[in-house]
Structure 1
């Protein structure tokens, strides 16, 4: 499976991860001198793909042609996995329906410090579609930044819908509020400045348990388990919780990486695998997302 992400206006190809018995193999893709133009205007750039495993296999590709790898164990059906090159990701972006207001927010955010925190357009499109499929009216977002994903969700909510948007950085939240106003969705967004844990706890204390349909988490990684437990109490049975960055730039698949954030995401991913309160699907969109359906 593959994933892609836009970081601050630059296009970075994805990481490719697959599992075979007793071995985890991850392909890391990097640009040499990135040259990215938003949405269908990218120029292909040289890239290198390396595969780290117990056999230290390495594959290189110096063109924009797709690299296809097959899981080597027959138990996985020799499934072929495609690596998203600049050309393929360019094609993908041309098939993202991005409203003008979202494009303008993306372009402004690209000039800001920390712009790598903004979700990719294809990721925001998926979140909005999940909200529509679910028929969600009450949503929560933990970690707003400048509001790209929350604006995408607010745009598809019914006029009577509400999105509680939790963000601790007031400067970025002010940018988000500006775009909510410009998009005409301010009445659907309840922007909460402060620590998300405090906001979620206060919502529970106000008797809002099991009253939300959808939640999206893209905030402090070491707090994921705590956010998840609180959201499980706030989201109704049949509701959906989406967790971002579960692949964490491929670090979770690299046994040599053991920093605290990576370890906390690994631990969270393992806990979700054993959590029978939810059905789960980890997908390689953006930096990896896990979609949890509350039973």
Structure 2
């Protein structure tokens, strides 16, 4: 068994032995070969930063969701080295299409060889740019209500801005998924709590933005939403109208 401290998993919600059980007994045995290679290369190259990719169990959940939805046209905002991007590309049909947006091309190029090796590069349109401007371009290009699924895993302080734009781009009945909405548990801790003080400074700094976004979604009647305790928190929003 792998030591829990080396699992490089974002969640602090579950105790380490439970995470270890989920990964070792369920997630890792089903992991695609190129996903495993990408995960290992990312950990070797980026160290602690490799946690910016979604963990294996979350990627497998999203893959199953996409298949259940029969999704064909998707978007990913925030790519890093592309673990979730590759998982999505593997889940979509051969004529599926992913618009992938990130300001850091170098990280994406780390994962590109594994995407190519898996034979799914043709499904991906990577755009090296600020996401908000790309979303405006897509809206202006009459791409409104054309995406089946949109995964948002970029600057958490911009989640509210992303939401108003992707709500125009996702189909009625389509899904928007927001990652890190529990923020290592920070959303449940008060300043001065021992666990809160142990969190990284940047997590403590963006806590209020994530809480405000979570509160907003509860009152947004345009969607039905569910905040899942998988990984670091994953909120699914289904557009109603």
TM-score range, shorter chain: 0.7 to 0.9
Verify: 1:263 aligned to 2:198, yes or no: no
8 Å CA contact 1:8–1:109 kept in 2: the answer is no
* Structure 2 counterpart of 1:139: 74
Q: Give the alignment of 1:222-233 within 5 angstroms.
A: 222-233=157-168
Q: Give the alignment of 1:98-137 within 5 angstroms.
A: 98-113=31-46, 114-137=49-72
Q: Give the alignment of 1:73-92 within 5 angstroms.
A: 84-92=14-22
8 Å CA contact 1:9–1:107 kept in 2: the answer is no
Q: 2: CA distance between counterparts of 1:103 and 1:179?
A: 10
The change in CA–CA distance for 1:88 and 1:95 in structure 2 (over 3 A counts) is same
Q: Give the alignment of 1:16-27 within 5 angstroms.
A: none
Q: Give the alignment of 1:1-80 within 5 angstroms.
A: 9-11=7-9, 14-15=12-13
8 Å CA contact 1:119–1:149 kept in 2: the answer is yes
Q: Secondary structure at the residue paired with 2:94?
A: coil
Q: Secondary structure at the residue paired with 2:232?
A: coil
Q: Which has the higher contact order (CA 8 A, sep 6+)?
A: 2
8 Å CA contact 2:228–2:234 kept in 1: the answer is yes
The change in CA–CA distance for 1:243 and 1:267 in structure 2 (over 3 A counts) is same
Q: Secondary structure at the residue paired with 1:174?
A: helix
Q: What is the aligned length?
A: 222
Deviations 1:6-53 (A, max 9, x none): 9985356632xxxxxxxxxxxxxxxxxxxxxxxxxxxxxxxxxxxxxx
Name the structure where strand makes up a greater proportion of residues: 1
Q: 2: CA distance between counterparts of 1:153 and 1:204?
A: 23
Q: Which of these residues, 79, 90, 93, is aligned with residue 155 of structure 1?
A: 90
Name the structure where helix makes up a greater proportion of residues: 2
> Unaligned 5+ residue runs, structure 2?
197-202
Q: Secondary structure at the residue paired with 2:44?
A: coil
* Structure 1 counterpart of 2:139: 204
Deviations 1:153-179 (A, max 9, x none): 100101111010111111101123222
Verify: 1:179 aligned to 2:114, yes or no: yes
Which structure has the greater CA radius of gyration? 1
Q: Cα RMSD (Å) of the superposition?
A: 1.8
Q: By how many angstroms is 1:85 displaced?
A: 3.1
TM-score by length of 1: 0.72
The change in CA–CA distance for 1:186 and 1:11 in structure 2 (over 3 A counts) is closer
Q: 2: CA distance between counterparts of 1:120 and 1:196?
A: 23
The change in CA–CA distance for 1:85 and 1:8 in structure 2 (over 3 A counts) is closer
> Unaligned 5+ residue runs, structure 1?
1-5, 16-83
Deviations 1:72-109 (A, max 9, x none): xxxxxxxxxxxx33332222112122111100000001
